[in-house]
Amino acid sequence: MESDKRVIPQIKKIVGIKWDKTLQALHLPDNAISLERLNEIDTEIQFNAKVVHDVFCSITEKRLYLQISVNKDDIEFVKSLSYSKWNGNAYRWELPNYSHHLPKIRQYFGIRLLERDLRNRKPVYHDFDNPQAMVKPLKTPDYIPSYLNRFEQWMEYRRYSESSIRSYTKSIRVVMSFLSPILPEDITEKDLQRFVNEYLIPNGYSYSYQNQIVNAAKLFFREVLDTSFDVEKLQRPRAQHKLPNVLSKAEIKQILEPIRNVKHKTALSLIYACGLRRSELLNLRIKDIDSKRHMLLIRNSKGNKDRIIPISDNVIKLLRNYYQLYRPVKYLFEGQKVGTQYSETSLENIIKDARKRSGIKKPVTLHWLRHSYATHLLESGTDLRYIQELLGHKSSKTTEIYTHVTEKSLQKIQSPYDDLFKND
């Protein structure tokens, strides 16, 4: 149309206008200047302008999931948010639901943003040891997010992991919400004891969660608020001594053998062969494998520590076979899109499917493979100090727990009941 030839060059002069290939439409900033420039172009033409939602955000308690069109500026903005990651399998950006993330996203994208709040679709259960027990969610007063924001920024500055920041801020949110309207600066040790006695214990929360609350409280009140009461007096719950879940070598073989997918088999085999944590496997890169020295380098593991793990000829052969089939570019295990990290959910699904095929009724998880690795090393005579290094444990006390589940140690013990029948 003649009018299009006359008008389009004028529209393109508007500051901030962009062409979206996916939507086949022009994007203009939603402000008074854009509308004023449109009205100045040609009063005889009716513009069919409408708000197009091209950014979708799904909100959960722990995570934010962003789906955006391919736009360099938008992508750079999302990358600037703390701990944002691209999930190539789901074709979306994922980031923790910190208190300052959602306001920034809303401010940047404006009316382009369409939100799906998934937080209230299901009843809220506590997610530790007793998922059957319902816990009434606490309302968060308006003044609390600013404190959480300070706490998050302090932990980000100190380079805490994403999971630590998420769990600690959630813990402090619960504490402050329960104790409101007492302001955080006025909270005392007695208030925290009341929180334990009136909220944690009646709702059946576990030892580990109570311990996490104490860790978070010590950091928040000491480092962020510089509170007047002595946070070191906060008492931890009495220690629990749970034994690690261990599979026999025959059970490990029973799980691994039926797997036909080379990628899946290699991933699970490597966790057991090297005693890896889930995050350590997913963060492995091609350059971390030194086949000539028979070494595997684990970078920035728990506690920001690096360590080296020896790998055998059988493991190297397994890895070479896998590499020839999949040809990963960046990470050793990549998602559907080249160069993207394999997802935690996909890895969890692999062990679930493998357990079902094996016929094993135990609720096997990825961490069971790591526990089994340590126990089997101990049973074969490996010194406990070396196992501590291989697992990346900070304290030898953590590693010593495997001495309680080794078959050789337990089988040497003879019951006095057997002495009753020696002469029979």
pLDDT for position 21: 58
Q: Which of 302, 307, 352, 357 is catalytic?
A: 302
pLDDT at 290 over 80: yes
Contact 245, 371 (CB under 8 A): yes
Query: Which pLDDT score is estimated for 151?
Result: 93
pLDDT band at 126 (very low <50, low <70, confident <90, very high): very low
**Where in the sequence of the chain do the CATH 1.10.443.10 domains occur?**
249-409
Q: Is the pLDDT of residue 289 over 60?
A: yes
Does the pLDDT value for residue 273 go beyond 60? yes
Q: How many CA atoms lie within 13 A of 18 on its CB side?
A: 14
Active site residue 100: no
Q: Are 405 and 368 in contact (CB under 8 A)?
A: no
Strands of 270-420 (E only): list them. Answer: 289-290, 295-301, 305-310
Distance from the Cα of residue 312 to its chain's centroid: 30
Catalytic annotation present for 393: yes
pLDDT top residue among 315 and 423: 315
Higher pLDDT, 357 or 20: 357
Task: Say which of 85, 170, 357, 367 is annotated catalytic.
Answer: 367
Q: Which is the catalytic residue, given 370, 371, 373, 376?
A: 370
In this model, does residue 124 exceed pLDDT 50? Answer: no
Predicted confidence at residue 318, as pLDDT, reads 92
Helix/strand/coil for 173? helix
CATH of 249-409, one of 3.90.110.10, 3.30.470.20, 2.170.130.30, 1.10.443.10: 1.10.443.10
| Greater pLDDT, 290 or 19 | 290
**Mean pLDDT, rounded, of the chain:** 79
Q: What angle do CA 58, 62, 67 make, to 5 degrees?
A: 25
To the query of whether residue 371 is one of the catalytic residues in this protein, the response is no
Tell me whether residue 272 is one of the annotated catalytic residues. no
More confident residue, 211 or 51: 211
Q: Tell me the average pLDDT across 21-49.
A: 56
pLDDT band for 225, please (50, 70, 90 cuts).
confident
Distance (Å, whole) CA 68 – CA 75? 8
What pLDDT is attached to residue 41?
61
Q: What per-residue confidence (pLDDT) applies to 261?
A: 92
Share of the chain above pLDDT 70, in %: 75
pLDDT in tens, 226-248: 876 676 666 666 655 667 888 88
Length of the chain: 424
- Please list the residue range(s) of the chain that carry CATH number 1.10.150.130: 144-233
User: Which one of 147, 168, 322, 402 is the catalytic residue?
Assistant: 402
Confidence of residue 131 (pLDDT cuts 50, 70, 90): very low
Q: Which of 166, 265, 278, 393 is catalytic?
A: 393
Which of 175, 45, 31 lies closest to 112, judged by CA?
A: 31
Rounded to the nearest 5 percent, the helix, strand and coil shares of the chain are 50, 10, 40
Most confident of 53-57, 226-230, 342-346: 342-346
**What pLDDT, on a 0 to 100 scale, did the predictor assign at position 120?**
63
Per-residue pLDDT, 197: 81
Average pLDDT of the segment spanning 273-280: 90
Q: Where are the beta strands (DSSP E) in 165-304?
A: 289-290, 295-301
User: Residue 323 pLDDT > 90, yes or no?
Assistant: yes
For residue 345, the tally of other CB atoms under 10 A from its CB is: 11
What integer is the mean pLDDT of 208-229?
A: 84
* Least confidently predicted of 51-65, 131-145, 316-330: 131-145
Looking at residue 223, its pLDDT comes to 87
Q: Pick 29 or 397 by higher pLDDT.
A: 397
b/e map 42-52, b = 16+ CB within 10 Å: eeeeeeeeeee
Specify the pLDDT at position 20. 60
Q: What number of other Cβ atoms are within 10 A of residue 134's Cβ?
A: 12
Q: What value does the mean pLDDT take over residues 156-177? A: 88
Residue 277 a catalytic site member: yes
Return the top range by mean pLDDT from 28-37, 142-151, 160-169, 194-203: 142-151
Identify any residues that bridge with 18 across adjacent strands, giving them in sequence order.
Answer: 27
Does the pLDDT value for residue 397 go beyond 70?
yes
- Rounded-to-integer distance, Cα 33 and Cα 346, Å: 47
Q: How confident is the model at residue 39 (pLDDT cuts 50, 70, 90)?
A: low
Catalytically annotated residue among 85, 277, 285, 352:
277
Which segment of 46-60, 154-168, 274-288, 339-353 scores lowest on mean pLDDT? 46-60
Task: Give the pLDDT score at 415.
Answer: 64
CATH 3.40.1170 residue ranges of the chain are 55-117
- pLDDT category of residue 12 using cuts at 50, 70 and 90: low
What superfamily in CATH does domain 144-233 come from?
A: Tyrosine recombinase, N-terminal domain (1.10.150.130)
Architecture of domain 55-117 in this structure? 3-Layer(aba) Sandwich (3.40)
pLDDT on residue 68: 85
Give catalytic status of residue 370 as yes or no: yes
Look at 82-96, 237-251, 333-347 and tell me which has the smallest mean pLDDT.
237-251
What three-state secondary structure class fits 13?
coil
